[in-house]
């Protein structure tokens, strides 16, 4: 029988939320690039979609680092884990701040011309966005290196989130007696 899994605590949410910023922040430059290449009004729609993905990715990055900090407080820090965990935490902080800065820059690039009622030119819609993507590639390096260190913690050192015990499945298993081979032979 299927049961609703227990709701994890804040420190156990890290494995569940960490993939959102990775996907959103890697997808955003694709939309920004397409927006820079395509003519108006389609290009503007792609640039706004890229901005929305960047903002959502940055917000989810703040959530992921918060849950990661809570999970790190519970992690066993023996052996090489401490060095990798410390590097992962430091890179996560840099990544978070870098993408917050990128979000502010792109928000200004998209909204400022509209607020000042300046006519968008090919310079503002193509060149500036392509230059922004060069800067964005540095953020991707931060993101990938942070994710790699997190992956090392899980796959190389076996660090994992502490999830609450699922008492319902243990109770169900305890209530059923095991079937012996003699009982199996008696069944039709």
C-alpha to C-alpha distance for 178 and 35, rounded to whole angstroms:
62
Helices (H), the chain: 14-17, 19-37, 42-72, 81-115, 122, 128-155, 167-175, 181-186
Q: Is residue 3 part of a domain?
A: no
pLDDT at 123 over 90: no
7-45 pLDDT tens trace: 888 888 898 899 999 999 999 999 999 999 998 889 999
Q: Is residue 59 part of a domain?
A: yes
C-alpha to C-alpha distance for 186 and 48, rounded to whole angstroms:
68
Q: Is residue 95 part of a domain?
A: yes
* Host domain of residue 33: 10-186
pTM here?
Answer: 0.81
Q: Is residue 4 part of a domain?
A: no
Q: Is residue 1 part of a domain?
A: no
> Looking at 50-117, which runs of residues are DSSP E strands?
none
- Residue 108 in tokens: 């200004």
Q: Is residue 158 part of a domain?
A: yes
Whether 126 contacts 37, CB under 8 Å = yes
C-alpha to C-alpha distance for 71 and 63, rounded to whole angstroms:
12
Most confident of 27-36, 79-88, 117-126: 27-36
Q: Is residue 66 part of a domain?
A: yes
Instruction: Give the count of domains, the chain.
Output: 1
Report the pLDDT averaged over residues 110-121.
Answer: 84
Q: Is residue 5 part of a domain?
A: no
């Amino acid at each position: 029988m299927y049961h609703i899994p227990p709701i994890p605590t804040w420190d156990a949410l890290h494995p569940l939320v960490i993939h959102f910023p990775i996907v959103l922040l890697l997808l955003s430059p694709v939309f920004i690039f397409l927006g820079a290449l395509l003519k108006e009004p389609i290009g503007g729609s792609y640039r706004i979609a890229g901005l929305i993905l960047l903002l959502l990715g940055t917000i989810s990055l703040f959530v992921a680092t918060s849950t990661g900090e809570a999970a790190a407080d519970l992690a066993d820090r023996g052996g090489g884990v401490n060095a990798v965990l410390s590097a992962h935490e430091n890179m996560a902080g840099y990544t978070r701040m870098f993408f917050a800065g990128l979000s502010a820059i792109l928000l200004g690039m998209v909204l400022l011309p509209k607020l000042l009622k300046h006519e968008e030119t090919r310079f503002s819609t193509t060149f500036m966005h392509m230059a922004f993507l060069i800067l964005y590639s540095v953020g991707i390096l931060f993101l990938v290196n942070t994710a790699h260190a997190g992956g090392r913690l899980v796959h190389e050192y076996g660090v994992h989130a502490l999830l609450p015990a699922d008492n319902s499945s243990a109770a169900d298993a305890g209530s059923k007696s095991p079937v012996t081979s003699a009982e199996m032979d008696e069944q039709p």
